Amino acid sequence: MRAAGALALSACAALMSILLTTQAAAGQFSVSPLRIQMSARDRATAITLTNEGDTELVMQADIYHWKQKPDGQDDLELSEDMILSPPILKLPPHSRQVVRLARLRPVQSGEQQTYRLIVREIPEAQVTEGAMKLQIAMAFSLPIFISPPGTKRELLCTTERGVTNTIRAFCENQGNAYAQPVDFVLKGSDGTQLAAKEAGGYVLPGIRRGFDLLAPSSDRIPAGAAQLLVRQDTGAVQTFDVTIPE
């Protein structure tokens, strides 16, 4: 019994030693541009990957066809419509590489085609001066838009009452190109700010998404006529006349 207890203590000590000498690290890399815009005539475009860290990075790229579900949640499916060359990259410390994103199939319709390029770091365990360094994988997700001539966004927003100090703005994209509201402000008829939200998201064609606007206090947002100001990624601000129900 005493030997078994000593063995258990020895095992615990060994485990603690491993935990104390294990370090976590994450690679540092950036991708440019952060959003890829292509016309229907473009066959390829260039993307720059930069290793900003002190260790070599190994990364893998996959391309997904990007749709949204009726509630606005992203729906990704691996696609063979495009290819990134090379698909697996090794970047030395403080270096950059330009890769080529190419279309393999022509645009079949007059609607904007939407994809996601996801670049993932392949983690590796490294041993440095007797301490095991466990890599934490990083990833980037870049939207890709292929736009035939004549595509445009058409955003229509309404409001509904949420909980006491929250208003939910519903935005539907009735156009044939993506929309990206970036912030929302709800103002009363006297110009007073009633609620706001400082972040938005993509709304793909035919999709209706909800965004919760929070009042600056816990008081109930008053009913009546109001204006919803929606700023998009282009900098343009749309104003919608709305009515806050009782």
Query: How much is the pLDDT for 30?
Result: 87
> pLDDT at position 6, please?
37
Q: Sheet harboring 166-173: ordered strands across?
A: 155-161, 166-173, 208-214, 193-197, 181-188, 224-232, 237-244
Indicate the SS3 state at residue 163: coil
Of residues 246 and 9, which shows the higher confidence score? Answer: 246
pLDDT at position 11 over 50: no
Residues in the chain: 246
Fold exhibited by the domain 155-244: Immunoglobulin-like (2.60.40)
Query: What confidence tens digit (pLDDT) does each residue in 72-126 have?
Result: 899 999 999 999 999 898 999 999 999 999 999 887 777 899 999 999 988 764 5
Contact 26, 138 (CB under 8 A): yes
**How many Cβ atoms from other residues are within 10 Å of residue 44's Cβ?**
12
Query: What is the CATH architecture of 24-147?
Result: Sandwich (2.60)
Shared fold status for 24-147 and 155-244? yes
Tens digit of pLDDT for each residue in 143-197? 999 999 989 999 999 999 988 789 999 999 999 999 999 999 999 999 999 999 9
| pLDDT higher than 70, residue 135 | no
Provide CB contacts within 8 A for 108, sequence distance 6+: none
Nearest-angstrom CA–CA distance, 68 and 178: 11
User: Identity (one letter) of the amino acid at 226?
Assistant: A
The span from the CA of 135 to the CA of 121, in Å, is 9
pLDDT of residue 170: 96
Ordered by start, the domain boundaries in the chain are: 24-147, 155-244
**Beta pairing class for 181-188 and 57-68:** unpaired
pLDDT digits (tens, 9 = 90+) for 14-67: 333 333 333 333 458 888 999 999 998 999 999 999 999 898 999 999 999 999
CA distance 105 to 47: 19
